[in-house]
Amino acid sequence: MNEPPRKIVVKEEGSGALEAGKPLREIAEDVALRRFDEVKRRIEQPSAAGRLFGAGIALYRAGWLPARLVRRLSKAYFNDRVPCLL
C-alpha cells in the first residue's frame, strides 16, 4: 500500500527530455532561469521600445497621460508578456 513517490518525467518540446529521463523539477528550474535571465537582460539593456515604455509610465504617473489611453495600451502589453492571464 505504501508505494514510494513516483518521479514525474515530462518531455519538453524539442529537448528530448523524455529520452533523457529529465524530471519535471529540472525542466521547471531551467525554464525559470531562462525567464530570469531574459528579464535581467531587458533591465540591464533596455531596447528603444523599453525606454519608450518607461517614459510612458513616467508620464502617466506624473499625470500627463490619461488613464483611458494607458488602459487601452496595457492590454496588448500584458497579452504579450502574460498570455495565460488575459
Report helix, strand or coil for 28: helix
Percentage above 70 pLDDT, the chain:
72
The rounded radius of gyration (Å) of the Cα atoms in the chain is 20
**CA–CA gap between residue 41 and residue 33 (Å, rounded):** 12
**CA–CA gap between residue 24 and residue 64 (Å, rounded):** 47
Same domain, 25 and 56: no
Domain that holds residue 56: 47-86
pLDDT at 65: 92
Same domain, 38 and 8: yes
Same domain, 1 and 35: yes
Q: Which residues in the chain land under pLDDT 70? A: 1-20, 83-86
Give this prediction's pTM.
0.47
